[in-house]
A and B are shown apart, each in its own frame.
Chain A
Amino acid sequence: MRAEAGRKLDRYLKENAAQAREERIEKSGTRRRSGSARLRRWKDRAVSWLYLAPSLIGVGLFFVLPFAVVVYYSTINNPVQQVNVGAANFIRTWNNNAFRLAARNTLLFSAAAVPLAVILSLWIAVIMESNIPFKSTFRTFFLSPMMVPIASVILVWQVLFDNNGLVNVILTRLGAARIDWLKTYYAPVVIILLFLWKNLGYNMILFMSGLSSVPKDQIEVARLEGATETQIFWQIKLRYLSSTIMFVIIMSLINSFKVFREVYLLAGDYPFDSLYTMQHFMNNTFQSLDYQKLSAAAIIMAAFMMVVIGILLFAEDRFGRDLEN
């Protein structure tokens, strides 16, 4: 009996494997054919590389090849003498105070902004999922900051958070002490608000789509069993959202590295210490033409990003969704 079942399973697995192989061959187009068909197949594959060529040349020339040069630059003393100095540039960059300040600010900013972005946008998505009126109008409203250029609304932010700005006027009226928002350690708060304003809509769309894919019947059953809305949210919806949450975290993290734009437009080239970002460090190093330090910094940052992307791919894999497909 058992042997028979085993054989059956064996046959089933074999059939499945054969089918999978068939599909793979179909997809990759390597099915062996005779004579002219095979030749044509080969020719077509060669042609498909031609389609790739312009992009490959461009990406190779502007991104991949110079990155090899960057790696080389990070190990030499200067572009003229080109003496190999090993890890000296990395140590120099790592110990550089400006680099440390920039790295610490960037990481602190991400650590504060990303969780806020995830939680708030999930909240908005939940609001949007319930049966509130004018849903599509609200969606348009929430998405609109994504399209408004940061440079256009920066004036409003200045009006709000300047030392003589509106927020301080309200604070003093309430009897509290005024805060010079952009020139104290409160400055990142202003940037986080701007970051959230800009990015919540994007995350909301991802979460709305995730929420709409939660099976309705499970929620119905839970409701009939007497589960509260809170329980339904934590026990059911959040589980189905896990891969979306993962992706939103990663995208928010990547977007949080772009926050230099907001900082630069609001506070300029030389902001208060707590606003000094990685891009400020890069800009200053560009100006001093210290390519070795620049290269070392770029590589440290790239290595950090590789770790982040590695975690992303691992997590996506675990949750059954793949960035590549």
Chain B
Amino acid sequence: MGIFRKKKNQIEEEAVREPQAEPAYLTDEAYEDDFQYDAISERRRAEQLRTVRRTFAAVFFAFIFLMPTILTFTNSFMTASEISANYGSIFAQNNSGGKVYVSETVNLKFIPDMVTFTQYFTVLFKSPEYLMKFWNSVIYVVPIVVFQLLIASLASFGFARYRGKVKQLIFFIYIVLMLMPYQVTLVPNFLVAKELGIVGTRWAIWLPGIFSPFAVYMLTKYMRRIPYSLYEAAAIDGAGEWQIFSQICMPICRGGLVSIAILIFIDYWNMVEQPLILLDNEEMYPLSVFLSRINAGEISLAFAVAVIYMVLPMLFFLYGEEYLVEGILYQGGIKE
């Protein structure tokens, strides 16, 4: 939020300053018979042209970035026959039995012929397996976000309050672990889960998620920006460590916690690798994995399920875009 606000202020400041600061010899009239006049007006024209060009480029990119989301959204309001009329040639091929009308060509349509909520109705009330998978997703993600943040808050305070060589080393190990791809961390996770006998249970997803070093890294970076003198002052006033943590450190970190929560949420809401290896029962798969297994007979429902699946992250996004941006910048290490 900071940088964008600052930028805006700067622009405003400049706008205010400009008319006063511009002496008479710099105005357009003064250039009237100046030999530089042509060069300057040309420059201005070039700038305008560039802005127009860039606006077009931005619109072009915006179209590409938005198209898949909007298409999914509008298609979820189509009737089953309209879906199969449009996309039948694609999804019908792996259909076994079932009467599906197949058109020769595919037809990408943004606006449905007839808006209907049938698909949503079917998903929400008639086919419980989608809702079950949706709840699976919620049941995996919510405890991971909550407890990872809780444990990370404590640990980050431990890292940020006092520093030492040992802690520096441990923190470095956390960074390395955070940067490791799943292909590396899943093997250790699986071995422990097997040893503890929790393979195939929810704990196999929960526990590695809860102890993931990601939030610790992010929060520690956040907390290290709190001036040390603040803790010192509180300690002199007689506050214990717990009071310093809960009444000084945590309230300051509130914004950071929201940013990190959003980043953790996106990551686990999208999870695919972990369930495939740590769970053996497909009933327990989250919707992220299950969505790709919808077969051709139910393809008309797929768009509605897809929309239901993206509603939650989109709501978080609309509420917390600034927090998300802040979180990205912290992760990027650009904000000091």
Give the contacts of B181-215 with A (CB-CB under 8 A): 181-192, 207-208, 210-211, 213
Within 8 Å by CB of B332, from A164, A251, A306, lies A251
Q: Does B138 contact A (CB under 8 A)?
A: no
B158 with A51: CB separation less than 8 A: yes
Quick one: which of A50, A73, A266, A324 has the most chain B CB within 10 A?
Answer: A324
For this complex, into which size category does the number of interface residues on chain A fall? 35 or more
A63 with B177: CB separation less than 8 A: yes
Shortest CB-to-CB span from B89 to chain A, Å, is: 4
B176 with A306: CB separation less than 8 A: yes
B188 with A261: CB separation less than 8 A: no
Chain B residues closer than 8 Å to A65, beta-carbon distance: 188, 192
Q: Does B155 contact A (CB under 8 A)?
A: yes
Within 8 Å by CB of A149, from B164, B171, B176, B313, lies B313
Q: Does B140 contact A (CB under 8 A)?
A: no
Distance, CA A29 to CA B161, complexed state (A): 9
Shortest CB-to-CB span from A297 to chain B, Å, is: 8
Q: Does A59 contact B (CB under 8 A)?
A: yes
Distance, CA A291 to CA B291, complexed state (A): 30
Within 8 Å by CB of A283, from B189, B221, B277, lies B277
Chain A residues closer than 8 Å to B235, beta-carbon distance: 44
Shortest CB-to-CB span from A28 to chain B, Å, is: 5
Distance, CA A148 to CA B212, complexed state (A): 23
Closest A residue, CB atoms, query B54: A127
A212 with B3: CB separation less than 8 A: yes
Closest A residue, CB atoms, query B61: A124
Chain B residues closer than 8 Å to A247, beta-carbon distance: 332-334
Give the contacts of B81-134 with A (CB-CB under 8 A): 87, 89-91, 105-106, 108
Q: Does B314 contact A (CB under 8 A)?
A: yes
Q: Tell whether A147 pairs with B266 under 8 Å between CB atoms, given A251-B332, A305-B179, A305-B184.
A: yes
A162 with B90: CB separation less than 8 A: yes
Shortest CB-to-CB span from A216 to chain B, Å, is: 8
A282-305 Cβ-contact flags toward B at 8 Å (1 or 0): 110010000100110110011001
B334 with A209: CB separation less than 8 A: yes
Q: Does A94 contact B (CB under 8 A)?
A: no
Distance, CA A70 to CA B192, complexed state (A): 11
Having A45-B162, A61-B211, one finds 6 other A-B pairs with CB under 8 Å, namely: A124-B58, A143-B321, A149-B313, A212-B7, A266-B292, A282-B277
For this complex, 21 residue pairs linking A to B, each with C-beta atoms less than 8 Å apart, are A44-B235, A44-B241, A64-B177, A66-B189, A123-B57, A140-B321, A146-B324, A149-B309, A151-B309, A152-B69, A155-B303, A159-B106, A206-B332, A244-B332, A257-B181, A260-B182, A291-B191, A298-B187, A301-B184, A323-B175, A325-B336
Interchain residue pairs A-B with the least CB separation, the first 5: A58-B211, A66-B188, A55-B155, A52-B158, A51-B158
